[in-house]
A and B are shown apart, each in its own frame.
Chain A
């Protein structure tokens, strides 16, 4: 045992450094977490023009806020925690469906059946169950409310309860992963490097707090059978926000604002 004792006592500097790295990383995470938790998971409706206050003195952005305000009246901010696309997209999709019983019902049926699809793709059932149950539970609660305004209030409450809200996000991540894997021949063209579609899903789609890219959005749209229009606001030239419909040529029913690495919900 002498050898082992010696090597443990003789902790090298390099090992100290990697412990240190881990501590720094943990502290960084903590700070990020505190900042992001000061912002609600999904905010109240506010006018698009409220964005101006973030960019005072920044002519490029101010011109773009004006352009955006000409196209959209209001917005909801979402918490910038890496889950913003999934949270915004699910919220906006459900919020719209609440106004259309028939469409809501077919969405509900699709959701009901989705667990089987995931199990067929090789997800272990006991790891899915809680996320699926929460997803269906929320849909059911919303379906049971007759008054649209009451249902929307319930949606807002549920999406601001971390437990429910995060489980909804996980489930949409899984549905997105399933969509990517079902159509892996198509999506593999969009993945850089040597990674397979399955690897990509395990590393970039299924884990919480991982940011979304174009490919996530395409697959999520396809999974929920919903078209989305993304308005891009960045420091690029011109006074106009560029827009992109996914899938291409669709009639978008969900509108999202993208600012570098963050998505919020827009309302016409």
Chain B
């Protein structure tokens, strides 16, 4: 089983290296272990996360791609769909029926023909358009709904932090 997972992960790595989607870099941490990846996601243009370079890690199960990987940002994040410990909570990371957040039925789910690339593209859209219905971070969801200005200020400081630029003051 792990042999098939490894073969698939190598194919995905090759695919991502040959045709990298805009704003995304991802690959195994080291060549010894293909089941732990690091990713860098550039905050999408025209959003409050614009220009940030957000590091995350992906952890793949031994039966990948039958089951989805887990994804966790390793930098500070403040976003309705990211837990305070950085874990990403979006529908594509869950199999159907396995959704503690009660995603809408039309949302994209994990299946063996999804890919790392599809996950990362979904995460980029999630940064651009938070889903405040599924509150992995309830405070962030509330602020996104009720005080967009403050949300943007926090997001901009997170961007600055990833770039090592001094913070804006409140």
Contact = CB atoms under 8 A, between A and B. Distances in A.
B115 A2 contact: no
Contacts of B163: none
Given A127-B112, A206-B112, A3 B154 contact: yes
Which of B15, B66, B108 counts the most A-chain CB atoms under 10 A from its CB? B66
A163 interface: yes
A44 interface: no
A163 B1 contact: yes
A208 B83 contact: no
A4 B167 CA distance: 12
Interface stretch (B22-30, B34-42, B98-106): B98-106
Contacts, number: 109
Nearest to B108: A202
A167 B4 contact: yes
A175 to B, nearest CB: 12
Interface residues of A, number: 44
A260 interface: no
Interface stretch (A9-17, A45-53, A107-115, A242-250): A9-17
A131 interface: yes
A12 B139 contact: yes
Interface stretch (A151-159, A179-187, A193-201): A193-201
Contacts of A203: 96, 105, 109
Interface of B: 1, 3-4, 7-8, 11-12, 15, 63, 65-67, 76, 78, 83-84, 95-98, 100-101, 105-106, 108-115, 135-140, 150, 153-154, 157-158, 161, 167, 170
Pick the 7 closest A-B CB pairs, nearest first. A206-B111, A207-B111, A8-B84, A127-B113, A21-B100, A163-B1, A14-B138
Given A18-B136, A202-B111, 11 more contacts: A1-B76, A1-B167, A3-B170, A7-B84, A8-B76, A15-B84, A21-B100, A127-B113, A130-B8, A194-B106, A195-B105
